[in-house]
Amino acid sequence: MSDTPSELRYAKSHEWVKNEGDGTVTIGITDHAQELLGDLVFVDMPEVGDNVEAGSECAVVESVKAASDIYSPVSGEIIVVNKALDDAPETINDDAFGEGWIFKVKISDAADLDGLLDAAGYDALVAEDA
Residue nearer to other proteins on the CB measure, 1 or 66: 66
CB of 26 to other proteins, least distance (A): 23
Give the span between the Cα atoms of 60 and 78, in whole angstroms.
15
C-alpha dist (Å) from residue 39 to 6, 18, 59, 105, 111: 25, 24, 17, 26, 34
Residues 85-124 that bind other proteins (CB under 8 A): none
Residue nearer to other proteins on the CB measure, 84 or 110: 84
Residue 87 CB neighbour total at 10 angstroms:
8
Give the span between the Cα atoms of 6 and 11, in whole angstroms.
14
Residues 12-71 that bind other proteins (CB under 8 A): 38-39, 41-42, 44, 60, 62, 64-67
CB of 110 to other proteins, least distance (A): 31
Q: Which of 31, 34, 29, 35 is nearest to 13 (CA)?
A: 29
127 binds other proteins (CB under 8 A): no
Q: Which phi and psi angles does 13 have, rounded to 5°?
A: -85, 15
CB of 44 to other proteins, least distance (A): 7
Contacts with other proteins by CB under 8 A lie at: 38-39, 41-42, 44, 60, 62, 64-67
